[in-house]
Amino acid sequence: MSAVVDSEKCTGCGACVDACPVEAIKLDNGIAVVDEDTCTECGLCEDACPVGAIKVER
């Protein structure tokens, strides 16, 4: 599994992009997108998201 972004909640602030140690998240049209092949499920993006738009499914 990997981090899942709720596009309805995501504000495109980029906090998750900055928090990701493996650069698995990018912004696409103002919404965070997770590369499932790169994501290590560390949870740092989930912790960094100020609006709770990211959940790590383990």
Give the position of tokens 């899942």: 4
- pTM score, two decimals? 0.92
pLDDT of 57 over the 90 cut: no
User: Does the structural domain 3-56 have CATH classification 3.30.70.20?
Assistant: yes
Query: For the segment 5-54, what is each residue's pLDDT rounded down to a tens digit?
Result: 999 999 999 999 999 999 999 999 999 999 999 999 999 999 999 999 99
Q: DSSP per residue over the chain, as a string?
A: --EEE-TTT-----HHHHH-TT--EEEETTEEEE-TTT-----HHHHH-TT--EEE--
